[in-house]
Amino acid sequence: MDEIRKIIHIDMDAFFASVEQKDNPELKGKPVAVGGSGDRGVVAAASYEARKFGVRSAMPSKIAAKRCPHLIFVRGRHDRYKEISNQVMNVFYEFTDLVEPLSIDEAFLDVTHNKKNLPSATIIAEEIKKRIKEETGLTASAGISVNKFLAKIASDYRKPDGIYVIPPKKVEDFIADLNIDKFFGVGKVTADKMHKLGIFKGKDLRERSLLELSRLFGKQGAYYYQIARGIDDRPVNPNRIRKSVGAEHTFEKDLAEISEVRKDMMKSAEDLHKRLKRSGFRGRTLTLKLKYSTFEQETRSKTLLHEIHGLDFIMNLADDLLNQGELKNSVRLIGLTVSNRIDETEPVQLTLNF
């Protein structure tokens, strides 16, 4: 008989905003949004006090301020967030080496066999939450179940500062009654499509055959078929490989002239260069993203035989991409991303310009 896995998903509560409230006691208990407050600003994170007014991440700051007139905007401090994230990750490694970070503020842990030989995943989650509080002064929420899919969903059920467990015997009933738009891996577009097909809950999805779901959703169809039955065999991968590094900026006002876009593009190039150095990421493909005032998006890419390396090289390559065609409209956002990762065992190859 296969051993039942014990998977925990830990998610820091309103992480960026909570860090700001911790570092500045005057913000405690007040509605806080991390992000720019200008007309073109975007909310990166919102405190729970702000969320009560309907303020959410990725929301334009202008709308957030209308929903919450007393909203306090704070500029993000990513170095500080990374510092505390490292403290949190170190707590995870006290219990298991099978840690798979999903982002700066959340991770999966496989505690089936743990360093402290604790018999219960719930006890481990409680200990982890306690240690995080001791180390950082912040709270986290935990979801516990037999696989990653269920643990991820469970972590949202007792936020903030809670624990929710989906035990093996309750998996089928839990999924049967779960709204389809709550399924991890089902986005808004897919959920809308499923609703039109009469699929509203897990039990509706479970009624569809593998053949039908594959026909309707392609490769993802097999995934939906499996998770509708509570099956997710994906291991917690401690060696998850980063696929890209990027930087982007939303302008205070739309830019119509290519010379203006070029000037601001260089700021993205500088940020990208810093992030590449900090992460150690090496890649061969540079992608330029342009988002127009109409919200239409365009990407232009170039792949090289060697590593994209150095600020001047990034700037020159980005300029080549910008010059590939005319602007379709005025530009509201520009982004640069390096991808097509070079394996760590490959030697560094650089071009020399004479």
Beta pairing partners, 286: 302, 338
Looking at residue 241, its pLDDT comes to: 65
Determine the average pLDDT of the residues in 116-131: 95
Identify whether the C-beta of residue 138 lies closer than 8 Å to the C-beta of residue 43: no
Residue 290 has pLDDT above 50, yes or no: yes
Name the least confident of 171-175, 210-214, 288-292, 343-347: 343-347
- How does pLDDT run across 131-180, given as a tens digit for each residue? 999 999 999 999 999 999 999 999 999 899 999 999 999 999 999 999 99
Residue 1 has pLDDT above 80, yes or no: no
- How does pLDDT run across 226-261, given as a tens digit for each residue? 999 999 999 998 876 667 888 888 787 888 888 888
Looking at residue 349, its pLDDT comes to: 43
Residue 78 has pLDDT above 80, yes or no: yes
Q: Is the pTM of this model over 0.95?
A: no
3-state SS class at 187 = coil
Check residues 319 and 40 and name the one with the higher pLDDT: 319
Looking at residue 266, its pLDDT comes to: 87
Domains and CATH numbers, the chain: 1-166 (3.30.70.270), 171-227 (1.10.150.20), 245-341 (3.30.1490.100)
What are the strands, taking DSSP E only, across 196-321?
Answer: 245-255, 283-292, 297-303
The two tokens of residue 180 are 């389809």
Looking at residue 16, its pLDDT comes to: 95
Check residues 68 and 280 and name the one with the higher pLDDT: 68
Residue 353 has pLDDT above 50, yes or no: no
Determine the average pLDDT of the residues in 77-91: 91
Catalytic residue, candidates 49, 100, 106, 307: 106
Looking at residue 2, its pLDDT comes to: 67
Query: Is 106 marked active-site?
Result: yes
Residue 120 has pLDDT above 70, yes or no: yes
Say what the alpha-carbon torsion angle 135, 139, 143, 144 is, to the nearest 10 degrees. Answer: 40
Determine the average pLDDT of the residues in 191-218: 95
Residue 200 has pLDDT above 80, yes or no: yes
Backbone angles phi, psi at 72, to 5 degrees: -105, 120
Q: What is the DSSP letter of 213?
A: H
Residue 350 has pLDDT above 50, yes or no: no
Query: Between vectors from CA 14 to CA 63 and to CA 9, what angle results, nearest 5°?
Result: 130
Determine the average pLDDT of the residues in 67-90: 92
Identify whether the C-beta of residue 92 lies closer than 8 Å to the C-beta of residue 110: no
Name the least confident of 127-141, 198-212, 221-235, 320-334: 320-334
* First-residue to last-residue Cα distance in the chain: 66
- Cis amide bond preceding 238, omega within 30: no
Residue 348 has pLDDT above 70, yes or no: no
Half-sphere exposure of 147 (CA within 13 A, CB side): 16
What are the strands, taking DSSP E only, across the chain?
Answer: 7-12, 32-35, 43-46, 72-74, 99-103, 106-110, 140-145, 163-165, 245-255, 283-292, 297-303, 331-341
Name the least confident of 36-40, 100-104, 270-274: 36-40
